[in-house]
Amino acid sequence: MAERTERIQVSYSLEEGTGHVHRKKIQEDQIIEDRVVARYDAEKQILFFKNLYDLKNFKIGALTFLSENEMSVRTFQREDMDLDPPLTKDIPPRPKKNRLEGDKTDDVVSWYMKYRPNEFATRYGFLGTYTGKVLIRIPQWVPRPIDGQLEYRGEQRTEKDVVNAAVTLRKTHLTYTPDECVDWDDDDPNSDIEDDRPTYTPPAKTAGKGKQPVPRRDEGAED
């Protein structure tokens, strides 16, 4: 009978002093991989990612860990791009977020794109530009005969041509997602990570600060 292999667990922790966010893979109480996936500036509440790879694969895990440990994130930046400079008086304040749409409110997205290009790229997951056909999904709402209330009846799909359209991981009114781009070619599939959910509970004798497991959540709209 084959010997059972223990499942690989995932744990996040924050390194004091450097602000490095570590992602550890653990098997049989042994750390088999320890990778720095982000850097957190607690004073300015900024979460930095080294590049697009780390952003795509570790943003949800890092955000979940920080949020569950009561560490707020107000700003995102990618370190392989020019960092956004401090805001000046000639730049208008960011528009208010719609309660339902959060940071995907149209005016907010437009403001980030115009005045905070790094923040825009990191917050919404900018992947590149695309020229070609995109798939447009139009929800179909039909009045019910009995009371006239609108009822969802699926969606109508159509295609249109775009030129140099922005492609992002998160859908906004100014961008398309990869699955909407008919001929999108992701030259960086890069996902050897099937599940980034923190799952590890350290043994009592080794449990330390910053190693608490937390549940996975969707990538929410931070302030």
Beta bridge partners of 41: 46
Question: Rounded to whole angstroms, what are the CA distances from 44 to 53, 77, 79, 111, 198?
Answer: 24, 12, 16, 20, 25
Contact 122, 157 (CB under 8 A): no
Contact 115, 91 (CB under 8 A): yes
Beta bridge partners of 161: 133
Q: Residue 157: which residues within 8 A CB-CB, separation 6 or more?
A: 135, 136, 137, 138
Question: Rounded to whole angstroms, what are the CA distances from 48 to 80, 119, 145, 208?
Answer: 10, 10, 53, 24
Question: Rounded to whole angstroms, what are the CA distances from 176 to 107, 134, 147, 218, 222?
Answer: 17, 8, 36, 19, 21
| Percentage above 70 pLDDT, the chain | 81
Closest alpha carbon to 37 in 167, 168, 196: 196
Residue pointed to by tokens 């499942």: 7
Main-chain dihedrals φ then ψ at residue 138, nearest 5 degrees = -115, 110
Neighbours of 44 (CB within 10 A): 9
Query: In the predicted model, is pLDDT for residue 209 greater than 70?
Result: no
Report pLDDT digits (tens) over 144-163: 888 888 888 888 888 999 99
Please report the pLDDT score of residue 190 as a whole number. Answer: 45
Residue pointed to by tokens 């996902």: 191
Angle at 76 between CA 95 and CA 86, to 5 degrees: 65
Please report the pLDDT score of residue 41 as a whole number. Answer: 96
Report pLDDT digits (tens) over 54-86: 999 999 999 999 999 999 999 999 999 999 999
Please report the pLDDT score of residue 207 as a whole number. Answer: 34
The whole-chain average pLDDT of the chain stands at 84
Please report the pLDDT score of residue 218 as a whole number. Answer: 37
Closest alpha carbon to 116 in 138, 139, 95, 145: 95
Q: Residue 52: which residues within 8 A CB-CB, separation 6 or more?
A: 78, 80, 127, 188
Residue pointed to by tokens 């959540």: 217
* Mean pLDDT of the region 84-107: 94
Residue type, 169: L
Please report the pLDDT score of residue 156 as a whole number. Answer: 85
Main-chain dihedrals φ then ψ at residue 106, nearest 5 degrees = -50, -50
Query: In the predicted model, is pLDDT for residue 127 greater than 90?
Result: yes
